Structure 1
Amino acid sequence: MKEIIYIQAGEFSNYTGTHFWNTQESYLPYDEHGDTEIEGDVSFCEGVDEEGRSTMYPRLLIFDRKSNFGTTGADDSEDDSSEIPALWTDGVVEYRQDKIPKSEYQKRMDEEAGAPDDTSGPTHDVKPEESAHDVGNIRYWSDFSRVYYLSRSFQKLPDLPEWEQSTVDWTQGQELFKRFNEESELMEGAFRISVEGCDNLQGIQIINDTDSFGSFMASFLASFRDEYLKLPSICIPVISGAISEHSSGYDAKTTKKLINEAFYLRTLNELSSMNIPIQEPTSWPKEWSDSLGYTSDSIFHQSAVLSAHVETCTLPFRLRLGHQAMSSVSGMLNWRNTCPFGELSGVFPFDYLSSLEERMINFSSNSPIKPSSLYSQLSVTRGFSEKQVSAYTKWSLERQPSNMSSIASIHASAYPLPNSFPSIKQAFVDSPTPTSDLITHAPSSLPMTKLYSSLSTSSNTAKTLEGYARFVEKAAQLHTSAIATMDISFDDLRELANDLWTMHDGAAEVTDET
């Protein structure tokens, strides 16, 4: 077994992570019918609940502002205290915030499971055919969670004052991590306990919102590397994207956000094995939802689609057969060891091979991924029939450039659709009963869909880094008031710009030599 410790930080990343864990939960064998193709112990650890029942818990740390947790972890004693500390004898007026009611989905799960007082947790009693039309109003990422969490998974940061923006200055985020680590003993407590609970840790997988948690996670990575120098890491930062196409004028908020992203990209270049930046959903091509009928401004729907691709492209880390370690995938993608950045692209849901290239969405860049620009690629298909696999293999070989050094494909079970997942058009949904030997290990009680996801490296990375380098370079020259308020010296900005150009050259070297 090669375990993974997962880190989520920020609201959008936690929405994405909740969908991710609901999918992981669907693979767990809760009966005597045998194993699935997924090694559950990679992502879950076994524990015993208060009633002595064996329960599987995610190997996960969740970072977010306290108010974003919703009902998750709301049974903390400090929140449920019914008495006021007797520090004053009179003149005290008590104000209590109303307890957050459970979501419609959680209430329905409780009713189906017959456990009205349970916190959010897995139950297969909720009928899978009851689609996400019935999930109801989603207020927090915890509203549609199907898994139980260990208490140490919850890493609640203080809420920001109403007058402060969610985008945190780079130095403020670093100070926040320092204080939080000192007060909670994060690295020596929750994180170390998670590591010690693994027999053969293969690495950590991080997804985070960069505008609100970029500098916080940069400090986390620095602390992590102090002790775990060679342990692989896969980081998925959510960034604003398309910086090279921005106009020359930036407001203070956008400037702060882009500076944070530039610093974080440099940190990832130095400290993380492989990094897959994801553009904010507002930058995604509008076609991402054409086959789904989703509203493109819904974080619940956006995060569901992203989660399907993240879960699929990292599937090799969790397979029983055909397992590929995080270290080997990172090495394959960054085979020249010059630039640890890649791209995530895919089609969800998949229909026909003839439309694959036309429907492909690049979630990491506004530039399409062209075969001639690829350096390496790992593709994962879900639910393809043997005929489709054969046709895909032929198609892939025909479009592979002669100078491409690393390419691999994995074919796995169809993607399960728990009833917490937004409904998709019925034409894309397969029967819960497997129809091909390629999907016999899929969760038998759930509807499924076909899916294509890909991790790749290409010349697009050099374009992205060039955009950040030019922006930081210009910011250092203009001496804007927005920069002056960020507690960052112009010498630091000039050094950052130089480092970004060096990173750009590392990505562009492959273009020159191939």
Structure 2
Amino acid sequence: MCSREIVTLQLGHYSNFVGTHWWNIQDASFLYNPTEAQQKEKEVDHDILWREGRTLKGEITFTPRLVAVDLKGSLNTLKQEGVLYETNQQEDIKWSGDITLHKSTPAEKNAYLTELEKEDQAILEDKGRLPGTSDVIYDDVDMKDSSSNTTKDTVEISNYAPVVFGKVFHNLDDVVRVWSDYLRVYLHPKSIHIIEQYSHLNSLHPFDIHGAGHKALEDHEARKELEDRIHYFSEECDSLQGFHVLVDTHDGFGGFAAETLQHLQDDYSSKSIMTFGFTPSNLPDDTAVRRANRILNSVLSYHRCFTHSSLFFPLSLANSLWKTIGNYANFPQLDYKLIDYHTSAVLAASLDTVSMPYRTVNPIHMCDITNNFNSLGKKVGSMSTALPFLLEAESNFVDMIQELEGHLPWLSITPHCVNQSVPFMQSVVVRGIPENIPRSPRGLYSSCRSVNDTLQVYLTENFNSCLNAGTVVKSPTKVCTPFPHIFRKNINKHGLVSTTERHQFEGIDSVPMMTSMQSSPDTAQLLNTLYTEAKKLNIRKHARYLECGLEEDEYQEILQDVADLEKCYRPKSDMG
């Protein structure tokens, strides 16, 4: 059966942090032992987000169907073209006179990346050649023909158990500077696109306002290169269903995304575009200018995202973003730091779980979600997550659901949405919950004989005026290395709450999770607070935005569009 593929775009440094964790989580779920793969029921169709290729020497590659965009100097030790198909060619110097060649000192790999390199070297010595690497020429042979015996659960390119997953690296918090510092997976040579006009962390020429992103794509060659990369991955799909777009909404990448989303909407008008807008929790908040820039960038980015997307989800671990950043999501069993490496991991695990309904072996179509959610103009959604779902080692799903006693099992990761209202509709995913249902459940759950039965009763009883869709996935979320060590000591190796503390050198392999993707009246609060704060700003006093082409009348129209969208989420009684 042909998979309905999705192409993923990551636009921005923080979005690449989130995306890196997301691909690592998926990679950790691959089964490397063919015997184990045959015995275990296949749940997730990895063909939807990943692609196969083959080198001329017959080596199979398996990489994300991804275009990742960042600034110059943001890759650290990672080469832009990746390492799978490098040719090790020397630079061709045509100058005939005297030359002086200056070479910068290469960045050093951290302990985690060094361990990965040793692992690859061991395979090189064992097989005589690193799978999918060396100096071969890449040939885009389609691996979907029936002659291939490869499955996505037994990936030939990595047909070995990655021992590094079983090791605990306690110092990654201190050494991770960019997203490639913990990238586990191989990327296709066409995946990484660098914006050459701007440098990462350059305070003299910052990429910090929405208009800078527009300017970055004014160059014809730069735009063509980006579009060619998108076309490369989309045109090889047999049945493309749409795009995931991860975007930073607080800086210039919001403007870059606006141009990119418009291109997707124009060239792929029949496809779904699900956009996730990220804001880091640790943005500088010490000056009025920085706060104003954050508000202006956000209102401009949000407007473009919900205008050019099928569905848009603003996401952050900060519950408040406009006047000040703060009131961070307080997960009862997490001790995370306000660093990108930590906060992006929580968002990535949530994204991996919430997207399960259209990534399983028998999925619904992405457009089924986007069309239902954006009915009557509701194109902005919210998301909540339980990481981990609080399940005691000796308990079961029925007991834990009943112990909630009206409290929600999840926390919001959409700023300014606090789950105070019953949603219009929601898609709830439960994963990694053992099927140890008690023989004689009590009360409302007396007829439940499975996790799915329990979930359906819970949704019906607690959200009876809401259109609910519930999905149960048996496999838990993989949070082994290089996922950060953010779980408290009473969470055991399998993500369950235990009475015995975990050893300090023992990592966590996986956790159960529960997520909710919602269209909710609470979204009105998000849009109202953003509109209120943005309206207070006199755009004529922000010359850099005007210099990049933003006009005062256009800004007022954007504010009005946000205000009009807010009305879609108000109950009719509030609209008089």
TM range (shorter): 0.7 to 0.9
The answer on whether the counterparts of 1:207 and 1:237 sit within 8 Å (CA) in structure 2 is: yes
Q: Does 1:350 align with 2:389?
A: yes
Instruction: Pick one of 300, 303, 306 that aligns with 1:266.
Output: 303
Q: Say whether 1:186 aligns with 2:225.
A: yes
- Is the 8 Å Cα contact of residues 21 and 147 (structure 1) preserved in structure 2? yes
For residue 10 of structure 2, what is the aligned residue in structure 1? 8
Which residue is equivalent to 1:67? Answer: 73
Structure 1 residues 276-291: aligned runs within 5 Å: 276-279=313-316, 281=318, 283=325, 285-288=327-330, 290-291=332-333
Cα distance change on mapping 1:297 and 1:460 into 2, 3 Å: same
Distance 1:341 1:172 in 2: 25
Match of 1:411 in 2: 472
Matches within 5 A, 1:306-455: 306-321=347-362, 323-334=363-374, 336-352=375-391, 353=400, 354=403, 357=407, 360-370=410-420, 372-386=421-435, 387=437, 389=451, 390-402=453-465, 404=466, 406-412=467-473, 413-423=475-485, 424-425=487-488, 427-431=490-494, 447-455=509-517
Counterparts of 1:182 and 1:482, CA distance in 2: 25
Q: Distance in 2 between matches of 1:24 and 1:396?
A: 28
3-state SS in 1 of match to 2:300 = helix
SS for the counterpart of 1:465 is helix
1:130 pairs, out of 139, 145, 167, with 167
Q: Relative to 1, partners in 2 of residues 1:165 and 1:453: Cα closer, same or farther, differing over 3 Å?
A: farther
Partner of 2:115: 108
The answer as to whether partners of 1:202 and 1:231 remain within 8 angstroms in 2 is yes
Alpha-carbon distance in structure 2 between the residues aligned to 1:82 and 1:240: 39
Identity over the aligned pairs, expressed in percent?
22
CA drift of 1:15 comes to 1.0
Matched, 1:297 2:297: no
1:163 Cα deviation (Å)? 3.4
How far off its partner does 1:308 sit? Answer: 0.4
Deviation at 1:37, TM superposition (A): 0.9
SS across alignment from 1:337 = helix
Q: Distance in 2 between matches of 1:330 and 1:11?
A: 26
Distance in 2 (CA, whole Å) between partners of 1:12 and 1:510 is 38
CA distance in 1, matches of 2:54, 2:529: 50
**Residue pair 2:50, 2:62 contacting (<8 A) in 1 also:** yes
| Secondary structure in 2 matching 1:68 | coil
| 1:289 to partner: Cα distance | 5.1
Other structure's SS at 1:270 match:
helix
2:430 & 2:328 partners in 1: Cα distance? 23
After superposition, the Cα gap between the structure-2 partners of 1:198 and 1:73, relative to the gap in structure 1 and judged at 3 Å, is: same
In 1, the alpha carbon distance for the partners of 2:68 and 2:76 equals 13
Q: CA deviation at 1:470?
A: 2.3
The residue type equivalent to 2:314 in the other structure is P
1:166–1:429 distance in 2 versus 1, CA, 3 Å: farther
Separation in 1, partners of 2:343, 2:246: 15
CA 1:471–1:284: 2 relative to 1, 3 Å: closer
Aligned-pair CA distance for 1:267:
1.6
Q: Which deviates more from structure 2 when the two are superposed, residues 201-210 or residues 352-361?
A: 352-361
How far residue 349 of structure 1 moved from its aligned partner, in angstroms, is: 0.9
Structure 1 position 49, deviation (Å): 4.2
Deviation, structure 1 residue 190? 1.4
Over 3 Å counting, the alpha-carbon distance change for 1:284 and 1:46 in structure 2 is: farther
Which of 225, 229, 248 pairs up with 1:209? 248
List per-residue Cα deviations over 1:106-164 (Å, max 9, x = no partner).
Answer: 21122234157978996633153323437572232112222111111011112636333
SS at match of 2:357: helix
Count of residues in Structure 1 that have an aligned counterpart in Structure 2: 489
* Corresponding residue of 2:291: 254
More moved, 303-312 vs 43-52: 43-52
Query: What residue is the counterpart of 1:500 in the other structure?
Result: 562
TM-score norm. by structure 2 comes to 0.76
Q: Which residues of structure 2 form unaligned runs of 5+?
A: 135-156, 392-399, 438-449, 496-507
Matched AA of 1:228: Y
CA distance in 1, matches of 2:543, 2:48: 48
- What SS does the aligned partner of 1:276 have? strand
Alignment-derived partner of residue 199 in structure 1: 238
SS of the equivalent of 1:395 reads helix
Letter in 1 for 2:468: I
Aligned match of 1:439: none
Cα-to-partner distance string for 1:161-206 (whole Å, 9 max, x where unaligned): 6333644333331121232x52362355211111111111111001
Q: Distance in 1 between matches of 2:409 and 2:205?
A: 36
| Residue 98 of structure 1: aligned partner | 105
The one-letter code sitting in structure 2 at the alignment partner of 1:260 is: N
Which deviations, in whole Å up to 9, do the C-alpha atoms of 1:23-43 show, x marking residues without a partner? Answer: 222333434233631111111
Determine the C-alpha separation between the residues in 1 that align with 2:492 and 2:409.
18
TM-score (norm 1): 0.84
Q: In the alignment, which residue of structure 2 is the partner of 1:244?
A: none
User: Which has the larger share of helix?
Assistant: 1
1:478-513 CA distances to partner (integer Å, 9 max, x unpaired)?
746676566422222222221111111222266759
Whether 2:190 is the aligned partner of 1:152: answer yes
